[in-house]
Amino acid sequence: MEQLKIFTPATIANISCGFDVLGLALDTVGDEMLIKKVAKKGVTITKIIGQDLPLDTHKNVAGVAALALLAETDCEFGFEIEINKQIKPGSGIGSSAASSAGAVWAINEMLGKPFSNLELVRFAMEGERLATGVPHADNVAPALFGGFTLVRSYQPLDIVKINTPSQLFASVIHPQIEVKTSDAREILKTSVPLKEAIKQWGNVGGLISGLYTEDYDLIGRSLEDFIIEPIRSILIPAFDAVKQNCINTGALGCGISGSGPSIFALSKGEETAIKVGEAMKAVYDKVGIPYDIHISKINKQGIKKI
């Protein structure tokens, strides 16, 4: 295989109750990457379309992740990476994760799959470390495994792929404002009331149960975040209005995608998800903030060849 073209999806981390552990992959929004095998060892980022991001391998998340993988091989050749960046950096839907995960997935394919998905998560996390300072896995895991994923533990790294009900659709609105992941992390409190933590893990249990039994009502009831959302939502203009509009329109639940500013809602059925998207747009049209909107079924496959 001399070259490989892939689609690598945007992802929603946290999913309300599952801060730092849950994530899901989207289907209609993601980057395209072209990876070429070349004689020269190492990794070269040859071109980035759509966004102004560093071409220097060591400053690019895809480059850093790819190098982390290659460091554990005795590969006698190298790779060139071209990225068609459709996911805006800083949108909160896993832009860096898509590039990091895409690079390691594609190279693993071209090397004959020496590494498991779990090992690929570990390499892709090095891209996340470069992007945010924290090597988190809650975006790269769903990109690589597809569907819903749980990062059960970091030490040791343990990723669980969760069943994904077929009628589950996401609506995502990205208001064009900047919220840095590092800022969104800094405003969090380092301790939480035990009472709230109990409610939170009750909801994590409910959400996981609902995903396995495909109980959409239970999924909806469980999509509640008592700990992070009350704090982070103040960084996102009109968050409460968007959320209320989504619920009124029939969404199962609504919350902050990753560290924001994107807001996601989950719905049963595409028709409802489209209406929920319209309800999201209505709020930002009124407030006068420009936005991108995505409606997507949950991507059970994750990264794929195109």
Of 34, 38, 177, 192, the residue at the interface with its own copies (CB under 8 A) is 192
Contact code string over 213-252 relative to its own copies, x by CB under 8 A: x----x--xx----x-------------------------
CB 221 within 8 A of CB 206: yes
Question: 86: exposed, middle or buried (C-beta count within 10 Å: 0-12, 13-18, 19+)?
Answer: middle
Of residues 30 and 220, the one with the C-beta less far from its own copies: 220
Question: 288: exposed, middle or buried (C-beta count within 10 Å: 0-12, 13-18, 19+)?
Answer: exposed
User: Using CA atoms, how far apart are residues 173 and 303, in angstroms rounded to an integer?
Assistant: 22
CA angle 10, 72, 142 (to 5 degrees): 20
CB 240 within 8 A of CB 189: no
Smallest distance from its own copies to CB 202, Å:
4
The structure tokens 């060849």 sit at 305
Residue 214, CA atoms < 13 Å, CB-side half-sphere: 8
Does position 190 interact with its own copies (CB under 8 A)? The reply is: yes
Q: 126 catalytic, yes or no? A: no
User: Using CA atoms, how far apart are residues 29 and 299, in angstroms rounded to an integer?
Assistant: 10
Does position 189 interact with its own copies (CB under 8 A)? The reply is: yes
Torsion on CA atoms 89, 92, 96, 97, rounded to nearest 10: -160
Part in contact with its own copies (CB under 8 A); list of ranges 55-63, 185-193, 256-264, 273-281: 185-193
Contact code string over 123-152 relative to its own copies, x by CB under 8 A: ---------------------------xxx
Q: Which entry of 149, 164, 181, 272 is annotated as an active-site residue? A: 181
Part in contact with its own copies (CB under 8 A); list of ranges 2-10, 31-39, 183-191, 236-244: 183-191
Does position 188 interact with its own copies (CB under 8 A)? The reply is: yes
Does position 282 interact with its own copies (CB under 8 A)? The reply is: no
Torsion on CA atoms 8, 188, 225, 285, rounded to nearest 10: -70
Smallest distance from its own copies to CB 141, Å:
12
Does position 182 interact with its own copies (CB under 8 A)? The reply is: no
Q: 164 catalytic, yes or no? A: no
User: Using CA atoms, how far apart are residues 29 and 292, in angstroms rounded to an integer?
Assistant: 11
Smallest distance from its own copies to CB 211, Å:
9
Of 50, 71, 72, 201, the residue at the interface with its own copies (CB under 8 A) is 201
User: Using CA atoms, how far apart are residues 304 and 306, in angstroms rounded to an integer?
Assistant: 6
- Tell me the angle at which helices 117-132 and 95-110 cross, rounded to the nearest 10 degrees: 140
Contact code string over 9-48 relative to its own copies, x by CB under 8 A: --------xxxxxx--------------------------
Smallest distance from its own copies to CB 200, Å:
6
Active site residues: 128, 181
Residues that bind its own copies (CB under 8 A): 17-22, 150-153, 158, 160, 162-163, 188-195, 197-206, 208-209, 212-213, 218, 221-222, 227
